[in-house]
A and B are shown apart, each in its own frame.
Chain A
């Protein structure tokens, strides 16, 4: 059974070019269901889910196909494409675990969100630290793509907690910036009044 699933997965990745395999799925209702759900999961993972899991059109398609004349066309083999054939071994390696792994990640994410340190934790910075800037950031940073968010590789410990923490800090800074702009003119006002005197001829 497991072997059948593995073959199914490989077939989805375009790796298996066994002519008889299609027929073997077609005749196995369990494999058919698996085939469908694999596709739903895959499109979901790719964020292109146009197929709702409960919206099963395969039955209607099958009915429609029954009426249709058989079209005989040369079967395209993905393996014959040079790019695909070099990519596929990688897909085969990771693809079979992709679903399970992503479920695990989602679970961890859920736990982490529950166990997020509360906002009070970071209030432990009691005294204002003196800040010394003795050196300069040496990170070799090239001009980046303006369109997309980039998190430059600095520390490779792509920890999810660190990620959330990072996001929280970025949001805190952005929110503070917006707040400062709102109050800017209020604080600018008295300052301008005092500064305008020396500027006047």
Chain B
């Protein structure tokens, strides 16, 4: 608290009032939310926030993420953040979230550089606008952006694979922050450092580090604005103008191979057989996820394959391909190469 100048303190107080208001709203249904009157400027509010923070400091790692999930679903906010990957330019994003008057959640994620990319979610329909592509909509209750969805909304899903550890207080983006670590239970995956705003509980910074501790990917929040009312942006969206959602009906396919090794907490979420868009090659495909990272496994006949074993890193993805004369096995995902290799070597013909 002491690090803030008086003018900042006034702003902080105003924010604290808003937050208190929000906190009280959390208990109410979203529908009644919009009807609630704006918060009165009570002088008592700043004092009331002090014990609140005292209790926050005692939260366990998991409770911090539960609180984050609740805020991400219920608050009206506008967040600017930049995504940096090792050896690449940083990419700025704007992320807005609101609960509209009719109780529907609205979310927007906008890539701010170049031709950009816009994703808009109304309820459980996500519409994607990209350059060079027809806009389309899919059913989903979260926008799939650079921040893992389970981290933002469903931390319970991460518990099987990761541990949450509180580290201590620091300062990030000019705010008092709580630092936490997300550590994989078997050291087969990369680890994460997370900084959450001590006052609002919102995400301020997320680092992905490799097993040696060097930084691979970083999300740094540069501005947060939490407000009582939804951003006027959402009022300008015309739901009728959005493309109609395409229902994805995955057809589960039988594959004649199985993956026998997976990191703890990683599960198959999809399997299919299809053609690659760029080359038309037929591949058998399985997708695995532990909530933080996704790993693709491709198996295809060796005669149209790479003809040699390849390991490379494409931005933060590991690409590993092995050929044994009959089939080519390819693993892609944000995992250490050793883990990718272990997964590839564990593939066996079904029933063997």
Contacts and interface: CB of A to CB of B under 8 A. Distances in A.
B149 to A, nearest CB: 6
A133 B256 contact: yes
Interface string B269-304: 110010011111111110101000010101111001
Contacts of B249: 190
B57 interface: no
A159 to B, nearest CB: 10
A162 B304 CA distance: 11
B313 to A, nearest CB: 6
Interface stretch (B19-27, B70-78, B102-110, B316-324): B316-324
Nearest to B313: A146
Given A131-B301, A154-B323, A183 B280 contact: no
Nearest to B255: A131
A184 B273 CA distance: 15
A185 B349 contact: no
A141 to B, nearest CB: 6
B344 A152 contact: no
A137 B322 CA distance: 6
Contact of B270 (A120, A147, A187): A187
A137 B324 CA distance: 4
A181 B276 contact: no
B218 to A, nearest CB: 17
B327 A175 contact: no
Given A119-B279, A149-B313, A172-B277, A189 B299 contact: no
Nearest to A147: B313
Contacts, number: 189
A189 B319 contact: no
A133 B144 contact: no
A93 B28 CA distance: 82
A6 interface: no
Given A144-B337, A175-B278, A180-B285, A170 B248 contact: no
Contact of A122 (B139, B141, B281, B301): B281
A71 B128 CA distance: 69
A14 to B, nearest CB: 34
B4 interface: no
A152 B144 contact: no
Contacts of B311: 141, 144, 150, 152
Contacts of B273: 128
Contacts of B278: 119, 168, 171-172, 175-176
A133 B332 contact: no
B142 A185 contact: yes
Interface string B34-72: 000000000000000000000000000000000000000
A130 interface: yes
Contacts of A181: 144, 294
B255 to A, nearest CB: 8
Interface string B303-334: 01111111111100101011111110110110
Nearest to A176: B276
A190 B287 CA distance: 16
B250 to A, nearest CB: 5
B345 interface: yes
Interface string A33-69: 0000000000000000000000000000000000000
Nearest to A167: B306
Given A133-B348, A137-B324, A177-B296, A125 B314 contact: no
Contacts of B142: 185
B336 to A, nearest CB: 8
Contact of B304 (A125, A135, A177, A190): A125
A132 B281 contact: no
A173 to B, nearest CB: 5
A173 B349 contact: no
Could you say which of B142, B307, B308 has the most chain A C-beta atoms within 10 Å of its C-beta? Answer: B308
Contacts of A189: 124, 139-141
Given A122-B304, A133-B329, 5 more contacts: A139-B324, A149-B312, A166-B308, A173-B332, A185-B144
Interface of A: 119-120, 122-123, 125, 128-139, 141, 143-144, 146-147, 149-155, 162, 166, 168-177, 179-191
**Which 9 pairs show the lowest CB-CB distances between chains A and B?**
A154-B308, A172-B278, A186-B138, A137-B322, A137-B324, A149-B312, A123-B280, A185-B140, A177-B332
Interface of B: 124, 126, 128, 138-142, 144, 149, 210, 248-250, 255-257, 269-270, 273, 276-285, 287, 289, 294, 296, 298-301, 304-314, 317, 319, 321-327, 329-330, 332-333, 336-338, 341, 344-345, 347-349, 352
19 contacts: A119-B280, A131-B255, A134-B326, A137-B322, A141-B341, A143-B338, A149-B313, A150-B312, A154-B307, A170-B310, A170-B312, A170-B319, A173-B283, A174-B319, A176-B296, A179-B277, A181-B144, A187-B250, A190-B248
